């Protein structure tokens, strides 16, 4: 969680998120789509926060409570402003007028640019040490559609939107990334003078450059790598942003000391924490909220979310760890084991084919293949407590709520419906009966009728 109320010297961030996102072809607002498990909006908020923003204002479209709610969920003190009509980027910024008043500086970003680094934004904000406006630019491989930065004698004189540009201006490859820093002393005076006299009849934030120049105010450009300013407008760009973010996260994980055997097959979340010498085998998915301590091994084809994994523990192959899983040190959770809201003490084992949900498993306990904690009765969830050193025989159903004492045994194939004291054996199945000669008699009775193969 991020606190956005700090000293006044820090820039006020304005995140523009009122766009319609039509090209996403989705019921979900564009900025609520996720990259590395975190919404585009949360990425934008994270980057301005890490860049040192004090107040954070998010501008949302009408009837977009869900977007405001996501912003507040991620950064509770976010101020949400509604742009009632979509009349351009300057119009959107002015929807946050209340946040602009009294701010020492503004840092404006788009909500759909998840790869923008905090350091880049810091450099942009630092541009205000020498200028009234700082614009983030980049060299576009294909500048089509972007606003062009028109530089004369080494100085930015205007930004021209594609639709309003001359053929000559369209050849310029230095483009507007969208992020901008504005000195608070000039911000409102400049923004209020922007008009909609252009091809789209929108209030363009980019017009602020020419207006500042007319007032003899200095404008500077800071350049970013194209990859960083990549915007998400459709599902294909969403996938491209995901790929770029994954590459970045894998790099960071490996620099932090984790071993990714086949990095390109490992899917990480923005908040995945991998300790030193953690080994991640090929084809592993880390959903949000996973922490893995030093030296643990995550074997292939495992899917983890909301889980913490202790040092030296082995998970998988083919394990599914769901929210609320906490594994201690040197635990074994093997193939086709699913865990949910389950705490395993050190050295506990569930090596094969088990469901362990809403449970605590004591140190060194051993859960046999085919064990199921029956945690749901169709109405509510109930807990299973397994004491330390307990041994759960294979193919047992533990019907919660139920406690298995420390050091106790559960006989294989049991359905356990009542608590088992420490060091006792619980048997919850009918005794085996052998009927001598029964099979031979059957064969005699059926004679040569045997069918099948
Ligand atoms: C904008 C820039 C362009 C730049 C490009 C980079 C302007 C006028 N143009 O163009 O120079 O090269 O981004 O991607 O700024 N938004 C609102 N309310 C509005 C309009 C837009 O909140 O009324 C938000 C959108 O949600 C989006 C951002 O502002 O996050 C940019 O709007 P968009 O329509 O995508 O601008 P572009 O035409 O791409
Ligand atoms: Mg755009």
Token pair of 350, please? 């569930």
Overall pTM > 0.85 = yes
28/296 Cα distance (integer angstroms):
37
DSSP reduced 3-state for 102: coil
* Closest atom of ligand 1 relative to the 204 alpha carbon: 8
393/433 Cα distance (integer angstroms):
20
**DSSP single-letter state for residue 432:** P
224-267 pLDDT, tens digit per residue, is 999 999 989 999 999 999 999 999 999 999 999 999 999 999 99
What spacing in Å lies between the alpha carbon of 178 and ligand 1's midpoint? 7
27/291 Cα distance (integer angstroms):
32
Ligand 1 lined by 57 (C-beta under 6 Å): no
The pLDDT, as a whole number, for residue 153 is: 87
> What average pLDDT does the chain have?
95
DSSP reduced 3-state for 196: coil
246/231 Cα distance (integer angstroms):
16
* Closest atom of ligand 1 relative to the 87 alpha carbon: 23
**DSSP single-letter state for residue 26:** S
Token pair of 372, please? 């199921």
CB contact burial 126-153 (16+ within 10 A = b; e otherwise):
ebbeebbbbbbbbebeebeebbbbbeee
Tell me how many degrees the CA angle 300-301-303 measures, rounded to the nearest 5. 120
What spacing in Å lies between the alpha carbon of 353 and ligand 1's midpoint? 52
Count how many residues are written for the chain: 453
Q: Is residue 386 within 8 Å of residue 402, measured between CB atoms?
A: no
Is residue 104 left, alpha or beta, with left meaning phi > 0 and alpha meaning psi from -120 to 50? Answer: alpha
**Ligand 1 pocket: which of 58, 139, 145, 178 to mutate (most atoms within 8 A of CB):** 178
What spacing in Å lies between the alpha carbon of 232 and ligand 2's midpoint? 8
Token pair of 328, please? 């201690």
Ligand 1 lined by 161 (C-beta under 6 Å): yes
The pLDDT, as a whole number, for residue 20 is: 82
Residue closest via CA to ligand 1's atom 26 equals 19
124/118 Cα distance (integer angstroms):
10
286/94 Cα distance (integer angstroms):
40
Q: Is residue 243 within 8 Å of residue 267, measured between CB atoms?
A: no
What spacing in Å lies between the alpha carbon of 376 and ligand 2's midpoint? 48
Ligand 1 lined by 178 (C-beta under 6 Å): yes
Ligand 1 lined by 242 (C-beta under 6 Å): no
DSSP code string of 62-89: TT-HHHHHHHHHHSTT-EEEE-SS---H
Residue closest via CA to ligand 1's atom 35 equals 19
419/230 Cα distance (integer angstroms):
58
Which residues face 392 on adjacent strands?
367, 410
What spacing in Å lies between the alpha carbon of 34 and ligand 1's midpoint? 20
Largest CA distance in the chain: 110
Bridge pairing between strands 349-361 and 320-321: unpaired
- Closest ligand to 60 CA? 1
Ligand 1 lined by 59 (C-beta under 6 Å): yes
> Domains along the chain?
2-229 (3.90.550.10), 235-426 (2.160.10.10)
Nearest CA to 83 out of 20, 3, 141 is that of 20
Predicted confidence pLDDT, tens digits, the chain (453 residues): 444 443 347 999 999 999 888 999 999 999 999 999 999 999 999 999 999 999 999 999 999 999 999 999 999 999 999 999 999 999 999 999 999 999 999 999 999 999 999 999 999 999 999 999 999 999 999 999 999 999 998 889 999 999 999 999 999 999 999 999 999 999 999 999 999 999 899 999 999 999 999 999 999 999 999 999 998 999 999 999 999 999 999 999 999 999 999 999 999 999 999 999 999 999 999 999 999 999 999 999 999 999 999 999 999 999 999 999 999 999 999 999 999 999 999 999 999 999 999 999 999 999 999 999 999 999 999 999 999 999 999 999 999 999 999 999 999 999 999 999 999 999 999 999 999 999 999 999 998 666 656
Q: Is residue 333 within 8 Å of residue 314, measured between CB atoms?
A: yes
The pLDDT, as a whole number, for residue 155 is: 87
Which residues face 150 on adjacent strands?
158
Residue 182 neighbours by CB distance under 10 Å? 30
- Closest ligand to 209 CA? 1
* Closest atom of ligand 1 relative to the 86 alpha carbon: 23
Q: Where are the alpha helices (DSSP H) in 127-198?
A: 167-170, 184-191
DSSP reduced 3-state for 100: helix
Tell me how many degrees the CA angle 35-41-45 measures, rounded to the nearest 5. 110
Residue closest via CA to ligand 1's atom 36 equals 89
367/353 Cα distance (integer angstroms):
10
**DSSP single-letter state for residue 420:** B
**Angle between helical axes of 118-126 and 40-50 (0-180°, round to 10):** 50
By annotation, the residues acting in catalysis are 352
Q: Is residue 211 within 8 Å of residue 1, measured between CB atoms?
A: no
146/142 Cα distance (integer angstroms):
9
The pLDDT, as a whole number, for residue 452 is: 59
288-338 pLDDT, tens digit per residue, is 999 999 999 999 999 999 999 999 999 999 999 999 999 999 999 999 999
Q: Is residue 361 within 8 Å of residue 344, measured between CB atoms?
A: yes
């Amino acid at each position: 969680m991020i606190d956005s109320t700090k000293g006044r010297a820090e820039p006020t961030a304005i995140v523009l998120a009122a766009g319609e996102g039509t090209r996403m072809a989705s019921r979900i607002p564009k900025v609520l789509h996720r990259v590395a498990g975190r919404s585009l909006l949360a990425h934008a908020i994270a980057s301005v926060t890490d860049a040192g923003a004090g107040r954070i204002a998010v501008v949302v479209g009408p009837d977009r409570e869900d977007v405001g709610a996501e912003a507040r969920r991620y950064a509770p003190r976010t101020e949400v402003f509604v742009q009632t009509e979509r009349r351009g980027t300057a119009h959107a910024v002015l929807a946050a007028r209340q946040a602009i008043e009294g701010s020492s500086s503004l840092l404006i970003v788009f909500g759909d640019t998840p790869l923008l680094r905090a350091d880049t934004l810091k450099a942009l904000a630092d541009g205000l040490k020498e200028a009234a406006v700082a614009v983030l630019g980049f060299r576009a491989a294909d500048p089509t559609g972007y606003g062009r930065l028109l530089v004369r004698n080494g100085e930015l004189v205007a930004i021209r939107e594609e639709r309003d540009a001359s053929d000559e201006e369209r050849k310029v490859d230095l483009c507007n990334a969208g992020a901008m820093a504005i000195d608070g002393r000039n911000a409102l005076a400049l923004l209020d003078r922007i008009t909609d006299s252009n091809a789209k009849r929108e209030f363009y934030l980019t017009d602020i450059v020419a207006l500042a120049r007319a007032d003899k105010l200095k404008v500077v450009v800071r350049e970013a790598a194209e990859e960083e300013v990549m915007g998400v407008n459709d599902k294909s760009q969403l996938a491209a942003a995901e790929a770029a973010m994954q590459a970045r996260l894998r790099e960071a994980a490996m620099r932090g000391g984790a071993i990714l055997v086949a990095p390109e097959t490992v899917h990480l979340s923005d908040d995945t924490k991998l300790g030193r010498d953690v080994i991640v085998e090929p084809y592993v998915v880390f959903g949000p909220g996973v922490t893995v301590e030093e030296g643990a091994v995550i074997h292939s084809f495992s899917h983890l979310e909301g889980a913490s994994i202790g040092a030296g523990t082995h998970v998988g192959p083919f394990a599914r760890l769901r929210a609320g899983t906490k594994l201690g040190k040197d635990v074994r959770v093997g193939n086709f084991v699913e865990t949910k809201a389950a705490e395993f003490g050190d050295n506990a084992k569930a090596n094969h084919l088990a469901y362990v949900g809403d449970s605590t498993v004591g140190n060194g306990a051993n859960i046999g293949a085919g064990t199921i904690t029956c945690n749901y009765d169709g109405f509510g969830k109930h807990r299973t407590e397994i004491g330390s050193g307990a041994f759960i025989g294979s193919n047992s159903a533990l019907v919660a709520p139920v406690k298995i004492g420390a050091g106790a045994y559960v006989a294989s194939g049991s359905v356990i419906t009542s608590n088992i004291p420490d060091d006792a054996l619980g048997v919850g199945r009918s005794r085996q009966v052998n009927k001598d000669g029964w099979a031979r008699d059957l064969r005699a009775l059926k004679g040569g009728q045997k069918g099948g193969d």
